[in-house]
Amino acid sequence: MATTALTVLVVDDDFRVANLHAGIAQSIAGFTVAGTANTLASARELLAAHTIDLALVDVYLPDGSGIDLVRELHCDSMVLTAATDSASVRAALSAGALAYLVKPFPHTVLAARLAGYARYRRTLATPQVDSASIEEALQALRPAATPTIPATVASPTKDLVLHTILEATAPLSAGEVATAIGISRATAQRYLANLVGSGTVRMQLRYGTTGRPEQEYSATRRG
């Protein structure tokens, strides 16, 4: 039975950073992005228009502090920011943030936090839980230092996806990978998300002259 995707809102004053974090969230199975906001005002508009499960919020915004937004939220939140002062950390956690990540951080760190959040939600999806489930849910929010995402079963398709990325002379989109090896874009995206989560492949954004940026993938190392 299909499960409902967890809806994410990304709030960051830098539109490129917001798009990057949104791309990471969108690349992980089980997540969908409702939108990105670069101000408190636009974040509040999106919150009014959509049901959000998780907000990824920067502290420094043009029209105020993201921590104030976290305090207002009726959904879960994580703070993603360059702010390293202890007062901001305490305030964010006191406001209800489930995590506090200091930018810049590797893509795999955010991917692992999102995967952990999905596990947290699954663990607490039943009306009643015991102490072991509560502990499991809390541990899911703080993944190990070397982040991992549950791997798909090893398969020739996954090997083909990785081989295509390794052999490419330039970063490829999921659509380009799919075309190169004759699979659907959704299938390519699923394997690419897994490879990003394991740290084998990195994801960045390709900016064109018009329209939304496209996710593109390249090997983290060669050889």
pLDDT at 131: 95
pLDDT at 222: 55
Q: What are the structure tokens assigned to 187, written together? A: 């299938």
pLDDT at 146: 42
CATH of 6-124+136-140, picked from 1.10.3720.10, 3.40.50.2300, 3.90.1150.200, 1.25.40.10, is 3.40.50.2300
Q: Give the relative orientation of helices 185-198 and 174-181 as an angle to the nearest 10 degrees.
A: 120
The gap between the terminal CA atoms of the chain, to the nearest Å, is 40
CATH number of 156-219: 1.10.10.10
pLDDT at 1: 40
Q: How would you write the pLDDT of the chain (223 residues) with one tens digit per residue?
A: 446 899 999 999 998 889 889 988 988 889 999 999 999 999 999 999 999 999 999 999 999 999 999 999 999 999 999 999 999 999 999 999 999 999 888 888 898 899 999 999 999 999 999 999 999 999 999 886 444 444 444 578 888 999 999 999 999 988 899 899 998 887 888 788 778 777 788 888 777 655 667 788 898 865 5
Q: Where are the domains of the chain?
A: 6-124+136-140, 156-219
Q: Which of 99, 136, 97 is nearest to 119 (CA)?
A: 136
DSSP-based three-state secondary structure for 149: coil
